[in-house]
Amino acid sequence: MTPITVPTRDTVSATNQALFDQLQKGLGKVPNLYATLAHSQHALGSYLALQNAKSSLNAKAREVINLVVSQVNACDYCLAAHTVIGGMVGFMPEQILDIRRGGAPFDAKLDALAKLVKNIATERGHADPALVDAFFAAGWTTENLVDAIVVIGDKTVTNYLHGTTRVPVDFPAAPAL
């Protein structure tokens, strides 16, 4: 496979340099996968706009989606990054493993979300109606469903980017299931 390099600040456009500066300031680094998006003049900015868009879902719900989708897509990069972020939003290590398995037995509402997201990701958008009904029965709304699908799409983008480019993972490796 032709190796895909991780661009540096000096090798990207002025627009992407400004985004690198913002990422450096906010995160303390430019993660390799974000930097890889900067091979495109527009992809990094577009992706960050999608990722940072307002949502009816809180940070914990978004991390459930990120972890489940990354597990379904076997993305070592995103699993590593979102294991760190999952801990930052308050999940315990065993809870993160439960989520990656496609459930959240410690929280009925998050469990319904995780099960539905796993089904959506596995079945490429053809959700089991019983899981959609269980999602609503757990207290989620139609707005939440739409926002969850947007997060699934967001995470699928980076999962596919890493799966194709195989740029180095610059987060601690996620534990094996």
- What's the pLDDT tens digit per position in 129-175? 999 999 999 999 999 999 999 999 999 999 999 999 999 999 999 99
Q: Are residues 119 and 46 in the same domain?
A: no
Q: Are residues 47 and 120 in the same domain?
A: no
Q: Are residues 83 and 124 in the same domain?
A: yes
Q: Are residues 46 and 63 in the same domain?
A: no
Helix (H) or strand (E) holding 163: helix 142-165
pLDDT tens-digit series, residues 23-43: 999 999 999 999 999 999 999
Q: Are residues 153 and 91 in the same domain?
A: yes
Q: For residue 2, what pLDDT is reported? A: 85
* Residue 2: inside a domain: no
Q: Are residues 21 and 82 in the same domain?
A: no
In Å, the largest CA–CA distance within the chain is 51
Residues spanned by the domain of 38: 9-51
* Residue 150: inside a domain: yes
Number of domains in the chain: 2
Residue 3 has pLDDT above 90, yes or no: no
Q: Are residues 91 and 17 in the same domain?
A: no
* Integer CA distances (angstroms), 138 to 48, 81, 82, in order: 30, 28, 24
**Contact partners, residue 37, CB within 8 Å, separation at least 6:** 43, 44, 47, 161
Q: Are residues 79 and 154 in the same domain?
A: yes
Confidence class of residue 65 from pLDDT cuts 50, 70 and 90?
very high
Of 89, 100, 63, the residue nearest 175 (C-alpha): 100
Residue 1 has pLDDT above 80, yes or no: no
pLDDT tens-digit series, residues 73-125: 999 999 999 999 999 999 999 999 999 999 999 999 999 999 999 999 999 99
User: Angle formed by the axes of helices 14-27 and 43-51, to 10°?
Assistant: 40
Q: For residue 63, what pLDDT is reported? A: 98
Q: For residue 22, what pLDDT is reported? A: 97
Contact status, residue 33 vs residue 47, Cβ threshold 8 Å: no
Q: Are residues 28 and 90 in the same domain?
A: no
